[in-house]
Structure 1
Amino acid sequence: MTFGLLLPWVVTPSLNRCSLPPIAGSIPRLAYSKFSYSSRRRRYRLNRVIEDMESEKELMNEVKRPVDFRLSRVSGLMTEIMEIQAENPTFYVLFIPGNPGVVPYYKEFLESLHEFLDGNASIIAIGQISHTSKDWESGRLFSFQEQIDHKIDFVRQELESVKVPIVLVAHSIGSYISLEMLRKCSDKVVYCVGLYPFLTLNQQSRKQSLIGKLAASSIMSATASFLVATLRILPIWAARWLVSNTIGASWSDTALQATCSHLRQYHTMRNVLFMTKTEFRELAAEPDWEFMRENESKLAFVFGTDDHWGPLHIFEEISKQVPGISISIEREGHTHGFCCTVAGSEWAAQHVATLIKNRFSHLQSEK
């Protein structure tokens, strides 16, 4: 009888058939029924969690969108543009590259920035004139001032009708250009972020001095550009191998591709060096401290720890001359060429996004 209480049914050998359990056998059946209900609830909750995770993943995929590439004539000059257009942007980010001003270098940075800004901004990156994969301007050389005017013309040509605020984000010498753009477009630009800014010559840098001497000589510039252009005889795979085993050991595929497609062009290297020559003349003077003080709430700079283009003594001078400015030092081990690595691009994008969000939060609190 005790055995019968433990099993839902027993076999009677003599009759070779099943006999029904006693009434007490209904207790295990009730427990089993309760267990099944609990299991169904757990499975339901698990399915909901999985569905929520998949929905979140889909949302992130929607936010992280790839850049689009296009060509645009700005004041009649063919210009390389990379952009990510938001459906309903609350603001625009206009990115100004350094020198070389090859926008494909910044692909990972732009995509990450769009993601960290939660897809709320339309992002546009404009290349320097004739720092391109094709010689659209038939070998013409463009000065630093012409590059500045080109960016201002772009705002007036393509962003004049934009009703939302514009944020300028720039790299290296692009930071100087962004200051000039703020000067001319102050009614539309609400914030400028300069990454590893090159704002004035570093008299203490021997490397910068050598680059200046090379760029100042037309013969040396032409010779250097010709030597680099001879690498075009190499197939793309060989050129990538050469770059990755020399200057680009830690570079991303994007940076390797941009180097091989753009910097092996004679016209690009000539314009890189000519822009260097003319920008060095301009940056021999001190920065316009008065203008920076007047616009300190609109400015933010991020310096590196070991960067001859933006050395720490310039960081200290800015802190002294413009005490109210937002200024910081990157200590994550990235370099002036942050855009050449995925890690550097993502770090810079996240930092810039935080600065922009804080700026808009501050503007909102002032209303």
Structure 2
Amino acid sequence: MFLNLPSLTVRSINLPFFFSSVLWLPNCSFRLKKFSRSAFVHMGQEVLNPFSRWRAQFRLCNVSGYTNELLEIHADDPSLHVLFIPGNPGIVSFYKYFVESLYQLLGGRVSITAIGHLSQTTKDWEGGRLFSLQEQIDHKIEFVRQELQSKDIPLLLVGHSIGSYISIELYRKFQDRVVYCIGLHPFMMVNRQSRQQFLIGKLAGSRLLSTLFSSFVALLGVLPSRVSSFVVGKTIGKSWSRTASEAACTYLLKYHVMRNILFMALTEFEKLSETPDWGFMKKSSRKLSFLFCMDDHWAPMHVFEEISKQIPEMDVSVEREGHTHAFCCSEAGSLYIAQHVASLIKNHISD
């Protein structure tokens, strides 16, 4: 989740290089080393040329009778397909600049799909039904089976917040196809020291309170757009990009969306109260990478330290550039995280 915005942060723990386990990738190492001409280097970092950015396209997709939203860019001859799983809210519009930046940084050689969560959509396609964390996971599994059938194109998973947990569950199901899994600011364990999580848990755990809160934000949604935009801009979206503010006004101010955000959060707290599956992550450590940030109650430093202790060989980093857990709500944060992900992909999938 990223409704409460903390701050983010880069110390890398070097890992064993795992390219030897994915030598079967079709021409992947050659293609991923090619940079787009629309990217150049400035002070040691890649910078995007804003006049030649590719545009991600939105699409509705029906999986197992349920409708969800996709944000995607397809390469002409992809060497890899990146599937991005958002946090909660699981609204792909928030990640538009991130997806477009990542595509460009990878030279337009990799297809990217961001998949939204069920019933966190512009229309209430599911008639008010609430979906749990497990149901959202099952939906993503069915999506991969239905939409990403080609086994000739390797699959790489990237998840944000609770999307990191979902990505690991997807990897568990598709170990023969997934070549790498990247968790950004991963929500992996309940943080009992967080007052924000405590309050959200109380709100989500009460049907009355969650209904009242969702009704209140829905009332804001029926106000004239200039009024709702003003409210969002003065509250949660003070430093957000225009794209993020528009996504908030379009999605978050709807009753069915907010109810599903809170219900999913409730089931997240229930599931993540359990001890993480350290054994599976240790066994898969050469194909996993996590990025943490400072002052983040969803992915706090004590979880970073616990993972480093339990699985010292895993690639775990801390971002220290001052962005937030909600990196997707600013263009600077989206670009920075896209550069981090692109670097990981190039380092681990190319020689």
> Does 1 or 2 have the higher relative contact order (CA < 8 Å, sep 6+)?
2
8 Å contact 2:38–2:52 — kept in the other structure?
no
Q: Which amino acid aligns with 1:292?
A: M
Counterparts of 1:1-367 in structure 2 under 5 Å?
A: 56=37, 64-361=53-350, 364=351
- Rounded to whole Å, the distance in 1 between the matches of 2:219 and 2:74 is 38
The C-alpha deviation readout for 1:70-128, integer Å capped at 9, x for no partner, is 10101110010000000011000000000000100000000000011111100000000
| TM-score, scaled to structure 2 | 0.85
What secondary structure is seen at the aligned counterpart in 1 of 2:126?
A: coil
Shift of 1:233: 2.3
Please name the residue that 1:26 is paired with: none
- Rounded to whole Å, the distance in 2 between the matches of 1:346 and 1:187 is 31
The C-alpha deviation readout for 1:158-190, integer Å capped at 9, x for no partner, is 001241111101100000000100000111111
The C-alpha deviation readout for 1:339-358, integer Å capped at 9, x for no partner, is 00000000000000001111
The C-alpha deviation readout for 1:19-59, integer Å capped at 9, x for no partner, is xxxxxxxxxxxxxxxxxxxxxxxxxxxxxxxxxxxx95699
What secondary structure is seen at the aligned counterpart in 1 of 2:100?
A: helix
8 Å contact 1:305–1:312 — kept in the other structure?
yes
Please name the residue that 1:7 is paired with: none
Distance verdict in 2 for CA 1:254–1:61, change over 3 Å: closer
8 Å contact 2:39–2:105 — kept in the other structure?
no
- Rounded to whole Å, the distance in 1 between the matches of 2:102 and 2:150 is 24
Shift of 1:63: 6.7
8 Å contact 1:299–1:326 — kept in the other structure?
yes
What secondary structure is seen at the aligned counterpart in 2 of 1:193?
A: strand
Q: Which amino acid aligns with 1:99?
A: N
Distance verdict in 2 for CA 1:120–1:63, change over 3 Å: farther
- Rounded to whole Å, the distance in 1 between the matches of 2:249 and 2:147 is 30
What secondary structure is seen at the aligned counterpart in 1 of 2:60?
A: strand
Instruction: Return 5+ residue gaps in structure 1 as ranges.
Output: 1-54
Please identify the structure whose Cα radius of gyration is greater: 1
| TM-score, scaled to structure 1 | 0.82
- Rounded to whole Å, the distance in 2 between the matches of 1:62 and 1:123 is 20
What RMSD in Å do the two structures reach over aligned CA positions?
Answer: 1.6
- Rounded to whole Å, the distance in 2 between the matches of 1:319 and 1:118 is 32
- Rounded to whole Å, the distance in 2 between the matches of 1:247 and 1:176 is 25
Distance verdict in 2 for CA 1:300–1:56, change over 3 Å: closer
What secondary structure is seen at the aligned counterpart in 2 of 1:197?
A: coil
- Rounded to whole Å, the distance in 2 between the matches of 1:331 and 1:142 is 35
Identity of aligned residues (%): 56
- Rounded to whole Å, the distance in 1 between the matches of 2:254 and 2:211 is 12
8 Å contact 2:38–2:104 — kept in the other structure?
no
Distance verdict in 2 for CA 1:239–1:62, change over 3 Å: closer
What secondary structure is seen at the aligned counterpart in 2 of 1:204?
A: coil
Distance verdict in 2 for CA 1:231–1:356, change over 3 Å: same
Q: Identify, as 1 or 2, the structure richer in helix.
A: 1
Q: Which amino acid aligns with 2:308?
A: S
The C-alpha deviation readout for 1:132-172, integer Å capped at 9, x for no partner, is 11100000111110000000110000001241111101100
8 Å contact 1:63–1:118 — kept in the other structure?
no
8 Å contact 1:143–1:274 — kept in the other structure?
yes
- Rounded to whole Å, the distance in 2 between the matches of 1:357 and 1:76 is 37
The range that moved more, 63-72 or 323-332, is 63-72
What secondary structure is seen at the aligned counterpart in 2 of 1:94?
A: strand
Shift of 1:64: 2.8
